[in-house]
């Protein structure tokens, strides 16, 4: 469910505070990022992103849930382990 691209999407959502902003910052379509978030929720049976609608000037937003933060943290830790192991080859 998560790989480098998925981790980048989730990190961008947390950094930017919105799905549309995250998509723009990554050069991806809003639909692609939204579909990733939606599919992740369906597969994991737990939301990785909290979203809220907004009206007016501020608009809506998004942030990672604790599950989303943990998933990214664990993925990055595993990635570092693999990188260290490959350096020893």
- Please give the model's pTM, rounded to 2 decimal places: 0.88
- Rounded Cα gap, residues 13 and 69, in angstroms: 11
The crossing angle, in degrees rounded to 10, of helices 66-87 and 4-16 is: 130
pLDDT tens, 13-55?
Answer: 999 999 999 999 999 999 999 999 999 999 999 999 999 987 6
What structural domains and CATH numbers belong to the chain?
4-87 (1.10.10.10)
Residue 13: phi and psi, rounded to 5, are: -60, -45
pLDDT tens, 4-17?
Answer: 999 999 999 999 99
- Rounded Cα gap, residues 19 and 30, in angstroms: 7
């Amino acid at each position: 469910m998560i790989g480098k691209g998925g981790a980048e999407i989730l990190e961008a959502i947390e950094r930017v505070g919105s799905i549309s902003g995250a998509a723009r910052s990554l050069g991806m379509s809003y639909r692609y990022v939204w579909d990733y978030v939606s599919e992740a929720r369906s597969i994991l049976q737990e939301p990785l992103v909290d979203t809220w609608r907004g009206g007016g000037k501020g608009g809506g937003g998004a942030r990672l849930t604790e599950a989303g933060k943990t998933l990214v943290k664990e993925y990055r830790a595993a990635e570092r382990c693999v990188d260290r192991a490959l350096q020893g080859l």
